[in-house]
Amino acid sequence: MNSPYVDYINTHSNDIIEIYNVLGIEAGRQILIDEIVSVVDHAGEYINIRHIELLCDVMTSKGSLTSINRQGIKRGDVGPLAKCSFEDTTDQLIKAGIFSERDNLKGVSSNIMMGQKIKSGTGMCNIYLDEQEMYSYDTSKDETLFENEDDIDNLLNVVEEGPCQEDDFKFSFE
């Protein structure tokens, strides 16, 4: 790249390991994304770019290239249930039993196998109910808003203030 005979601006490579070694992990991540997108586009399929980026983030998150297969997952700090979710399920479980490996159920695969919510999205937080507030809530102040609930026009003409006005919502076909 430093040679005066090489046009570094127009030089292209699809060797992911070479790009990683020369330009670093971010360039390796970007070429991974580009190559996967080109393969998927060439096959005529559609995959949302966010899924591809997430996969490439997992492959490069430790600062080096990690494969997404049984060899790559074995190098990670994951429990035996996550390891057995890839290939060699029986071998992984036997090895975990022999060496008394323990799974702390912190990963997605292990929590799904155990039938538990994963620590992501809506499973990431807890909702606490203030029962005293619920029992002390005065419903009479809301009765004037829906005094005639049988009249559909009355229910549809509720005027609310704030950012969620009816004009703020558009359907994809509009």
**Predicted pLDDT of residue 159:** 60
**Predicted pLDDT of residue 9:** 85
94 shares a domain with 119: yes
Which range marks the domain in which residue 63 is found?
Answer: 16-124
Residue 5 has φ and ψ, to the nearest 5°, of: -95, 0
| Range scoring the smallest mean pLDDT among 29-33, 83-87, 129-133 | 83-87
95 shares a domain with 56: yes
147 shares a domain with 109: no
Grade residue 153 by pLDDT with cuts at 50, 70 and 90: low
d(CA 124, CA 139): 32
* Terminal-residue alpha carbon distance, the chain: 51
Q: Is the pLDDT of residue 174 over 60?
A: no
In a domain, 107, yes or no: yes
72 shares a domain with 154: no
Classify residue 32 as exposed, middle or buried by CB count within 10 Å of its CB (0-12, 13-18, 19+): buried
In a domain, 1, yes or no: no
Domain count, the chain: 2
Q: Is the pLDDT of residue 140 over 90?
A: no
80 shares a domain with 157: no
In a domain, 7, yes or no: no
The per-residue pLDDT for range 85-108, each reduced to its tens digit, is 777 788 888 988 999 988 888 877
Q: How far is CA 146 from CA 136, 139, 143, 158, in A?
A: 20, 11, 6, 9
